[in-house]
Structure 1
Amino acid sequence: MIAHGHVLCGQVPGDHKIVSVDDEADCAQLIRTLAEAHPSAPLWRRQRPCLLVYAAHFYPAADDTGTLTLTGYVRHLGLSANQIIHVPGAGDFQIDRIEGAQEPTALGAAARVTKGDSSMEASGPGLVVFPDPAARDEVIRENEADPLAGEQTWPTDMEMQEAEQQDKKKRRLPRGTSEYQAAWITEDIVGEGESSEDDEEEEDAAGDDDQDDVRSLAGTRAGTEAGGLMSEFGGDDTEVDDMADDEEGSADVGVDLKQRWREQQDDVMFPDEVDTPRDIGARVRFAKYRHLKSWRSSGWDPKESLPREYSQVFAFQNHKRAHKRCGTIAAAEAVGGPEDCHGVPAGTYVTVHVARVPTAAAAAAVARGELPPLAVFGLLQHETKLSVVHFSVRKAAALEDPLPNKTEMLLVTGLRSYTAQPIFSTDEPSGSRFKMERFLHPGRQIVLSVYGPICFGPLPVLAFLRGPDGSLRLAASGTLRSCDPDRLVIKKVVLSGYPVKVHKKKAFVRWMFFNPEDIRWFRPVELWTKHGRRGRIKASIFAPLHDIMQNLRYFSCGASVQEPMGTHGTMKCMFDGFVTQQDAVCMSLYKRTFPKWPADTAAGSFC
């Protein structure tokens, strides 16, 4: 029995008494224990006021809004008229005033209010509480973005001249080459590997520990957003992002379920591996990706290359300190009386007047009729503002279908419910960055990241999938982790190739790239094999210059140019140890990913 008691205590939180039921007397003792036990409310309910609504009425105004009256008991904490309340199905609203209401009593029951009970007199029909205009909370959803915050000053003429001089590259041309002939020689012919200094730089790029840990694959002109690269190839950032969205999740409705099963199995067997596209260059497809020398120690600025939506969200310098302060304010408002806190204590029967409620939003609350009481929660300070919210969840055991990244879900917390398309990431207790997961695998603890209103934990969450007929299926359950826009969710892709010819530490690798331009572009990135070797791409083949310039009708000369091998993507690689043909050569690239911005961020969208 002691062993079973430990198991039950681990599953049911709180301090409970274990009772044996071996005979009739024990059964009677169990019944008495259940009758006398008072279940305690969870912490997230105890730190917020709640109004159990038994009656709701709507009084329309001249426009498409009106006044919604909610009558019921105040529970948990005292309700302040300065607080924002959340009406399920309607949204977040300010309180216009709080009036005392006549408490309903059973037929024939004696009056329970005595003349000397001042607390009950304060909750009678004569009670009217108005908010304090100076201390009243505002319904603020989005942050006001400064459109000039990201502007850069135009460079001066001197800076432009210096930049042009730096861009000019010194080219070594064959003797006797005229100015007209030199104009036909492209940078691809003479710009790669002519000087020994370039070779030394390439050696340093692969093996030096003193180099920069983070490399932007878009180059210095393009920056981390790859703007220069996309303008060079005639594309834009939107097209690249669309292709990335198609790859990282099959959340569209038209995707076959069997295809999702295959993608999930591939993600388990070959995590993060993707195929290099053939219809578009890898340097264009992966323009926004970068290489990290060390996943743990390489730097990554959380304020770097943020999307435009990040200017509309709120963030805390210290989330725990803000939570403690908001809880202290709510507790102080709950203790005082109507004169000093502009509210009513818990246990009173009141009517809350909510002004400027849209007619369509109020219909959901009024149409409940004889349904169970509606729970209207008073929100803590800042709990109407948008931020990036993270939930730690686990996939439901009853759900067997694959659940890809960015699947549309109905997230139901203790306070509100809203539809979102979360991104999945690993749930690690420590670390500065977290790897994006393409599927919600069973048995794993995963973090869901969404744009949503700020909420303070502990707070439960249930994630539901909505069927074609409107039915709901439980997909995952968990708790609130944090509200932190600076949490780095990194998408990792692995490009793989296979050695077709091996000689000691050298290998000729194919199927990673399909043109020499991509090989040159990704040349600084470190390679690794599944057997633990490290290496780099090496310029290996020396071609006579007259063979390269034959199509340009140049004269032959004895100069030689160092080029990455192969016109079909074959490249020569050097590793730190012996390589076998059974091995696979891989390249890791990383990019920060963000949740999808909600289609509607109005006050009634998160209800």
Structure 2
Amino acid sequence: MTPSSDNNNVHRPGALKQQNKKFKTGRHRSQHEIKRSTKGRVAENKHARSLKRLNITSKQDRVNAAIQLRKQKLQANKQARQTIGAIDGVPQIITVIPLSSDVNVFSIVELITSSINDQKSSDQATDCGARIYTCPKLRSKFCFLTPTVTNLENILDCAKMSDTIIYIISSSTGLSIEGDYLIDLINIHCLPQSIIYSVISSSNDDNMSTISSTSKVSSFKNLEKFLEKKFSDVKLTPLDNQQDAQRLLNKLTQQKLIKISKKFQRPYLFAQTFSYENPKSSKSTLKLSGYLRGTHLSPNDLVYIPNLGTFQLEKIEEHRFQRDSDGILKPIVEKNYLPDKDLQRSLSFEAEQDPMNYDEEQTWPTKEEIDKAKHQLKKRVPKGTSQYQAAWILSDDEDDNSEKQQNDLNDNEHDMMDDYADDLHSIQLDQADKQDEDEEEEEEEEMEEVEMNPNNYDEKYDLEEDKQTLKQIKDAKLDEQFPDEIDTPMDVPARVRFQKYRGLKSFRTTKWDVKENLPSDYGRIYQFPNFRAMIKQIQNEQDNNQITQDHAPVHSYVTLYVKDVPVTRFEPGYHLFSTGLLPYEQCLSVLNIVLNRTNDSEIILKSKERLIFHVGFRRFASSPIYSQHTNGDKHKFERYFRAHQTLVATCFGPITYPPASVLAFKEYPDGRQELVATGSVLSVNPDRVTLKRIVISGHPFKIHKRSAVIRYMFFNPDDINWFKPIELRTRWGRRGHIKESLGTHGHMKCQFDGILKSQDTIFMNLYKRIYPKWTYEPLSIQQQQKEKETNEEHIMQ
């Protein structure tokens, strides 16, 4: 066919015409196409990360940077070795701890120190039971500590301050129960990354001489496999002869000392020698001589001595060693550091209470005010009435006068007096709410009455203790099955019994004023507007602050003159340490501690039960309250701390900056302590809101679709009208509210969001904020001795 010359006949492609893809048309786009596709949008700026990626360095530059970094680390390690453990520097502190019952620690230390036969080496025993060994052949200096196995607190103190821990295990008896318990404590509480330890198998006894070498190897491997289950980097080192001891010394000399990775570095000192200036008086100046470690120390700072307390410094003497005519090194005073009275920190640990403070205007009357009111007026009251209740009970004369006045009042005044009488009645019955808050204290008071009875005391003591334990177990099981549920009292109006409780629309989103109705004890503590900002400020000051002329330099031999220290007789071989405190660490506040129950502890701990806390480098006793470890601004109170739980314990205690490890012990009447929980400091925050929840329940009586008649929750119409705004919930997930009261026996008509089942149970949640009680007890040696004496007398009786 010849093509048509007509313009109307245009060739049109068919359905099978090939369609090229758009991205195949080429990479170039015209400016018009770019403007049409962007539609006026502006390109985003490149991020800083993408700009950094453009500056790609060459391979040789990266290799050179890695070499320089490695040289810096080696130089830092070399400088650490030249100061700590060097023959002219600070001796390396090594704590030797036996983990078997048949191990003689002193013979082990004697074997180590006598392994290198060098006439120039010296072995010096200090007054505190430590042995300082100087080995010129290895150009090293060691300080061996051998704390008493029975003194757990001293073992923990030595482990905290040590550079190396050596565990001694007998190949014949293996790891004892006490040793297993001790190694777990040290691993949880005392091991920062700077402490390097090695486990040593000791076969240096008479029984092992008759055992073949194959049995020794098998027992050695069994011990190593057992310890590898707990610690992955355990390598057992034999210690049978002097050659093994030499290998151990070489390992201690060549090992890498890692710098402490804690956020805060505190100055601390191991007292090689200590003495009182006037040991006959009750308080005297204590002189502690040793090498200063950690960081530099100012004479204006406070120091803490375990089991003694917090004290001020009288002065600091810096020494240098000089040989006398006999060739013996003796310390000579080179410089004195005196405190500045204007800059020296105060020992006051409680804040000064301001009577015009807004927070303290909301507190309840103090005991002094109640006692003063008692002496002003005497009334006859029923037996068992408290002082607070007696203040609101009218006497006979007042009752007669009030009746005469009421006869002259009009109807409106009668209504006002009725409302006022209801308020007085609610305050008068405040004891019911106090009974719910302090059930534990009432039980202890009943126990005291039984113990004070001298007749048949020994027979009743065991019986009452068993009853108390059984009651606690039953209460814990009941609270676990029916959490927070209580019965509505029939003899007391519910609006009076639960007058301090309130309902919450939402536990998560409803706001709670943290400064509302604070107790008087909160006026005695220190509070910070922003605790985290203060931590960062102190950390920056430590990083940027250089040593000045007013500070004793670190790694120098100093003598601390600690003033007004109680004169105490220490046990033979007791190792004494001193730690410098950071700003505000001597002050009291509210500590929030995250605690985890230990795996082998099945004891039921009740809230407000006395525990002994090891927080960082300090120890104290307190009765904490427990709450759930959750996010948000409100936290639910827990009545019991059960096994395999993680809760937050809130109590009064000295300010300690996190991170700080915590051990919690329960003390028995005979003085025995048992580890029940471990954890760390969460925060120092008095504004943490801990809400105690109670749940009152009711049962459906009549059901009609979504509405139902509920009974057994309240027993009078006034209580129903009082709690009418609070939302109801059921066990099976229904939500509802109270519509009206029916009759005079506490029946109420309720409306729900779905059809109610006859087997369902209706609940109402009420909340009240609770606070820890002032039960802080700093533990000291004198107090511990008194407790032991009282416990011994208690057992003898």
Could you say whether these structures have the same fold, taking a TM-score greater than 0.5 normalized by the shorter chain as the test?
Answer: yes
The alpha-carbon distance between structure 1 residues 323 and 446, as it changes in their structure 2 partners (threshold 3 A), is same
1:367 aligns with 2:575: no
Shift of 1:180: 11
The one of 767, 770, 789 aligned to 1:590: 767
Pick the aligned partner of 2:291 from 73, 80, 85.
Answer: 73
Name the structure 2 match of 1:158.
Answer: none
Tell me the distance in 1 between the aligned counterparts of 2:414 and 2:735: 33
For residues 769 and 691 of structure 2, the distance between their equivalents in structure 1, rounded to whole angstroms, comes to: 4
- Counterpart of 1:336 (choices 539, 543, 547) is 547
State yes or no: 1:324 paired with 2:525: no
Q: Does 1:83 align with 2:291?
A: no
How far 1:298 moved relative to its partner? 0.8
Secondary structure at 1:243 match in 2: helix
Q: Residue by residue, what CA displacement relative to the aligned partner does 1:225-270 show, whole Å, maximum 9, x if unpaired?
A: xxx9763335275763343121799788767222222222222222
1:447 and 2:648 aligned: yes
Where does residue 137 of structure 1 map in the other structure?
Answer: 345
Instruction: State the one-letter code of the partner of 2:344.
Output: R
User: Which residue matches 2:87?
Assistant: none
Q: Return the offset for 1:326.
A: 2.5
- Corresponding position: 1:577 with 2:754: yes
**8 A Cα contact 2:603 2:642, kept in partner:** no
Q: Give the secondary structure class of the aligned counterpart of 2:590.
A: strand
Identity %: 32
- Is 1:98 the counterpart of 2:316 in the alignment? yes
Alpha-carbon distance, 1:483 to partner: 0.3
Find the residue that maps to 2:676 and give its secondary structure.
strand
Query: For residues 230 and 184 of structure 1, do their structure 2 counterparts lie closer, same or farther at Cα, with a shift above 3 Å needed?
Result: closer
Q: Are 2:732 and 2:760, in contact at CA under 8 Å, matched by a contact in 1?
A: yes
2:716 and 2:632 map into 1 onto residues whose CA distance is 37
Report if aligned partners of 1:229, 1:284 keep a CA contact under 8 Å in 2. no
Distance 1:18 1:519, change over 3 A: closer
SS in 2 for 1:292: coil
Shift of 1:77: 1.4
Match of 1:529 in 2: 730
Q: CA–CA distance in 2 between the matches of 1:98 and 1:506?
A: 80
DSSP-derived class of the 1:343 partner: coil
Matched, 1:262 2:467: no
* Counterpart-to-counterpart distance in 1, 2:426 and 2:477: 35
CA deviations on 1:569-600 (whole Å, 9 max, x unpaired) are 33222212111111110000111111011366
Contact 1:396–1:475 (Cα < 8 Å) also in 2: yes
Distance change (3 Å), C-alpha of 1:66 and 1:588: same
Q: Does 1:299 pair with 2:506?
A: no
* Secondary structure in 2 matching 1:126: strand
1:125 aligns with 2:333: yes
Question: What is the CA-CA distance between 1:187 and the residue it aligns to?
Answer: 7.0
Contact preservation (8 Å) 2:698, 2:712: yes
Equivalent residues in 2 for 1:14-93, closer than 5 Å: 36-38=254-256, 40=258, 42-44=260-262, 47-60=265-278, 64-93=282-311
Corresponding residue number in structure 1 for 2:744: 567
Aligned residue type for 1:370: G
- TM-score, L = length of structure 2: 0.55
Work out the CA distance in 2 between the residues paired with 1:392 and 1:33.
38
Q: Is the 8 A contact 1:451 1:598 kept in 2?
A: yes
Gaps of 5+ in 2: 1-186, 197-230, 239-243, 363-406, 448-464, 785-797
Paired AA for residue 433 in structure 2: V
1:187–1:507 distance in 2 versus 1, CA, 3 Å: farther
CA distance, structure 2, for counterparts of residue 329 and residue 536 of structure 1: 57
Asked if structure 1 preserves the Cα contact closer than 8 Å seen for 2:594 and 2:629, the reply is: yes
- Between Structure 1 and Structure 2, how many residues are aligned? 486
SS in 2 for 1:293: coil
In 2, the alpha carbon distance for the partners of 1:437 and 1:51 equals 41
Is the partner of 2:333 in helix, strand or coil? coil
The separation in 2 between residues aligned to 1:349 and 1:83, in whole angstroms, is 18
SS at match of 1:431: coil
RMSD of aligned alpha carbons = 4.2
CA spacing shift, 1:368–1:74, aligned 2, 3 Å = farther
Q: 1:89 offset after TM fit, Å?
A: 1.6
- Tell whether 2:608 aligns with 1:406: yes
Specify the SS of the correspondent of 2:721: helix
- Give, in angstroms, the shift of residue 135 of structure 1: 2.4
CA–CA separation in structure 2 for the residues paired with 1:63 and 1:103: 32
Alignment check: 8 A CA contact 2:430 2:496 kept: no
Is the 1:418–1:605 Cα contact (8 Å) retained in structure 2?
no
Q: Secondary structure at the match of 2:428?
A: coil
Separation (CA, whole Å) in 1 of partners of 2:702 and 2:486:
23
DSSP-derived class of the 2:533 partner: helix
Bigger relative CO (Cα 8 Å, ≥ 6 apart): 1
3-state SS of the aligned residue for 1:66? Answer: strand
CA distance in 2, matches of 1:605, 1:570: 62
Q: How many Å separate the matches in 2 of 1:229 and 1:530?
A: 34
Distance 1:599 1:427, change over 3 A: closer
> Could you tell me how far apart the structure 1 residues matched to 2:586 and 2:783 are?
9
Report whether the alignment pairs 1:389 with 2:597. Answer: no
- From 357, 380, 385, the equivalent of 2:582 is 380
Q: Which residue of 2 aligns with 1:210?
A: none
Secondary structure at the residue paired with 1:310?
helix
Report the equivalent of 2:500.
288
Instruction: Tell me what 1:498 maps to.
Output: 699
Q: Distance in 1 between matches of 2:408 and 2:235?
A: 102
Per the normalisation by structure 1, the TM-score is 0.70
Q: In structure 2, do the counterparts of structure 1 residues 184 and 128 end up closer, same or farther at CA, with 3 Å as the change threshold? A: closer
More helix by share: 2
CA 1:530–1:330: 2 relative to 1, 3 Å: same
Alignment correspondent of 1:175: none
**What SS is found at the alignment partner of 1:393?**
strand
2:532 counterpart letter in structure 1: K
Contact 2:652–2:776 (Cα < 8 Å) also in 1:
no
CA contact (8 A) 1:405 1:440 kept: yes
Residue 352 of structure 1 is matched in structure 2 by 560
Distance (whole Å) between structure 2 residues aligned to residue 34 and residue 566 of structure 1:
85
Determine if the alignment matches structure 1 residue 146 to structure 2 residue 354.
yes
Q: Identify unmatched segments of 5+ residues in structure 1.
A: 1-9, 114-122, 154-178, 192-220, 223-227, 540-563
